[in-house]
Amino acid sequence: MVCPVCDNSDLRPFQGQNGFNIQAAFGVPILECSDCNFIFADFIHPQVIDYYYTHMCRSGSTPEEFNRLRQNARVGGRSQLMTMEPYLPSRIGRVLDFGGGSGEAARLFLPIGDEVFITEKDPHCIDHIMEEPRLQIIDGDDLMHEKYIGFFDLVIFSNVLEHMTYPAQRIQEFSRILSEGGQLFVEIPNEASYLRLSGKHCLQHISFFSLETFRKLIKKQGSFEIDDLRTCGPKIVDMVEAGELLHDFEAQDTPNGWVIRAMLRNIRPNTEIIQSGLRMDEVDATLSNLSQTIFLMNQVSTCQV
């Protein structure tokens, strides 16, 4: 692997407060770039990520838990809209909520957008989205089609990037489908700091950003101008003290807050499709790292049986 933010190949195992170094859902080592300090999970095969989200993620969630998630998404969506409002025109053409869950946030754009689209992989959420017929569901893979080049005027990319590999390519894909001057709203957790302080991370997250590494990522990708970049929500120190995930949807500007929000403008649209994946010179080290991780985990579990 090389650092997905700065391409540096000098990576070290991430050492947290309790020697933590394995991603909690996918079981791969967590690495840290020695140059930009970006923290991220080692290689996870795309089919494994798909398998996880198709079969395992939320497989045991109850309707009550889904209701709670939808409620939080609705309140969170309103808070995000407040952050976006100073930068939005009074009327938006086409809006896309990428990985939009049950569509709670996307619904908020129905009054101000000409058309509102949504992508989502979780089959439970698709049922919820279909409760609102004005939301247009798109298969995320279809966005590679030429007809979507420059198609959208606003893309909401909320709490998704941290679940994805190859973040620079993901940002690039939005430059391709946004119109020139189109806007990209990003929300991600400010998780690097939390991880360092607590040794914990959200179960499914595989990229752990800070304000600095996110800024570096946007600069490296090169298409977007940053109109706004801030942290908001609850203070990380309060979360560390509480030992759990807190919400503060009212807090729009919190120094070292849990939530990173960015309003980006697509001033240099790039329509190139960049293939993501390991380079040949990364393969041997990746095979070795994964093989070793399995060996070590196997030793520990064998000791416990």
Closest CA relative to residue 42, chosen from 296, 299, 300, 291: 291
Q: At what angle do helices 167-177 and 211-221 cross, to 10 degrees?
A: 50
Residue 20 interacting with another protein (CB under 8 A) = yes
Of 190-229, binders to another protein (CB under 8 A) are 199-205
* Nearer of residues 69 and 154 to another protein, judged by Cβ: 69
Residue 24 interacting with another protein (CB under 8 A) = yes
- Is the distance from CB of 103 to CB of 132 less than 8 angstroms? yes
Question: CA angle, corner 131, sides to 71 and 116, nearest 5?
Answer: 85
Among 6, 26, 75, 121, binds another protein (CB under 8 A): 26
Region at 103 (left for phi over 0; alpha for psi -120 to 50; beta for the rest): left
Residue 267 interacting with another protein (CB under 8 A) = no
3-class DSSP state for residue 160? Answer: coil
Q: Tell me which stretch binds another protein (CB under 8 A): 22-30, 104-112, 124-132, 222-230.
A: 22-30
The position carrying tokens 């908020």 is 108
Count of residues that interact with another protein, criterion CB under 8 A: 55
Among 8, 9, 27, 226, binds another protein (CB under 8 A): 27
* Terminal alpha carbon distance of the chain: 33
* Nearer of residues 112 and 202 to another protein, judged by Cβ: 202
- Is the distance from CB of 79 to CB of 58 less than 8 angstroms? no
Of 90-149, binders to another protein (CB under 8 A) are none
Q: Tell me which stretch binds another protein (CB under 8 A): 20-28, 122-130, 146-154, 176-184.
A: 20-28
Which residues of this chain interact with another protein, rule CB under 8 A? 18-28, 30, 43-45, 47-48, 51-52, 54-56, 59, 159, 189, 199-205, 244-245, 278, 283, 286-288, 290-305
